[in-house]
Structure 1
């Protein structure tokens, strides 16, 4: 689906304004509940502001998955009053992907949104992600920093990596998603089960979700978002580790798509599928 096909009409822009002014959105006589899943790890300086900027709307369910934070992140959340926030805590750090999957397991909304806790995503843009899904224009929406205008400067290695992933995605599934590592995304929750068997519990989950969605024929599209420069701390993404994880992802989906398994003994393929994800999660 092209960006032009997802251009919001004036009536839809009015719906966005309704969200942002905390009014009720009613679409086709049904109220749509949105679960907002936010993975959290040591973001005590930013998490409160992120939550405060999410419209206090009765159709928004906020789920914070704390991945073993060692700072005051959880304490900052508990200081927030008059908000319906669910906090789920991992006993130890299990990884970004594991936090996202935990959020999925606990979400009850019709639409699931994921966003980062470091303040780089704008909660005010959540309606832009969910309205195409509500209007049945898409099943899976990715917020892209490459579309539209933005002053956010993407590191060269990130751009190169995402371009490689995008080319592979097009080659395998004829699906083009440039900002495939974006953590700001939304999808129809009726498809959540297709992500349940993803084994990557780290940052490779972002890529695997898009590949899974494409594999199952979901309508995946990008919309422009604005990114903010991180104000506190630094990114925890390790380039070398994520390259290993994504390379495995591309290999496995290529084998499935082009039926290359006929050239690989079933026993060997089974070992690869079982052992490699464990090694990736252990060493990344």
Structure 2
């Protein structure tokens, strides 16, 4: 489906959570604007030029005074996107390709899904996927699917599309990266139609995360378990 047709049929916005992403944010914003009516960058306490570059590239801006976490960034952004038919989230580090936005939006436009997850692993792991990421991703996918009752292949994807009618379903309890699994659980709990589409990914980009992959993975796993316990109470 032509991206211009998608624009004409539905009002869309791309949300980009960003923390010290001055190296990549301009390209992500400009490319995203080719496929959406608006782009909203949430600068989560960056100490570099992320905010200025994002605005100069054409983005709307929310700026946090300090680094609160990805979950808080998405929560604040979702509070600002009422009136949009489609909401897309994409990471600001250049790892995802904004040219694939129409692939995620299409199932929502065609009323085949409420939540579209961009999966890096629908066809298995790419040979360029680091070994530590394969192991960690597999563990987090299993934990997410068991706790949420889903069958997603990429529970930690930050590249997603949502029907604007469903944004109130997401509670944003977790302030950090556990939000990716939590949103899947929220969607499942509300009986939303979850669909995955394959996406590409780059692993050669700079990453602003200050946590090592093992620490990060263990932290997310504990948050998935905690979220499940809270839902059971």
- Map of 2:170 onto structure 1: 195
CA gap of 1:255–1:67, structure 2 versus 1, over 3 A, is closer
Flag the structure with larger Rg: 1
Which of 1, 25, 48 pairs up with 2:6? 25
> CA–CA distance in 1 between the matches of 2:108 and 2:71?
23
Q: Deviations over 1:210-256 (max 9, x none)?
A: 11111221111211001123433554454325523432433442574
SS state at 2:27 partner? helix
Question: Does residue 128 in structure 1 map to residue 103 in structure 2?
Answer: yes
Question: Does residue 225 in structure 1 map to residue 206 in structure 2?
Answer: no
User: CA offset at residue 156 of structure 1?
Assistant: 2.9
- Map of 1:12 onto structure 2: none
Pairing of 1:89-108 with structure 2 (within 5 A): 89-108=63-82
Which of 68, 71, 74 pairs up with 2:45? 68
Which of 16, 19, 24 pairs up with 1:46? 24
CA gap of 1:149–1:184, structure 2 versus 1, over 3 A, is same
Aligned partners of 1:67 and 1:93 also within 8 Å: yes
Q: Deviations over 1:128-161 (max 9, x none)?
A: 0011111111111111111248857333333323
Aligned partners of 1:145 and 1:224 also within 8 Å: yes
> CA–CA distance in 1 between the matches of 2:74 and 2:194?
19
- Map of 1:185 onto structure 2: 160
Aligned partners of 2:182 and 2:227 also within 8 Å: no
Aligned length: 231
Which of 113, 138, 161 pairs up with 1:138? 113
- State the TM-score, normalizing by the size of structure 1: 0.73
CA gap of 1:124–1:152, structure 2 versus 1, over 3 A, is farther
- More divergent stretch after superposition (145-154 vs 99-108): 145-154
**Which consecutive residues of structure 1, in runs of 5 or more, have no partner in the other structure?**
1-14, 262-284
C-alpha RMSD of the superposition: 2.4
> CA–CA distance in 2 between the matches of 1:164 and 1:252?
16
Q: Deviations over 1:193-224 (max 9, x none)?
A: 1213x321111100111111112211112110
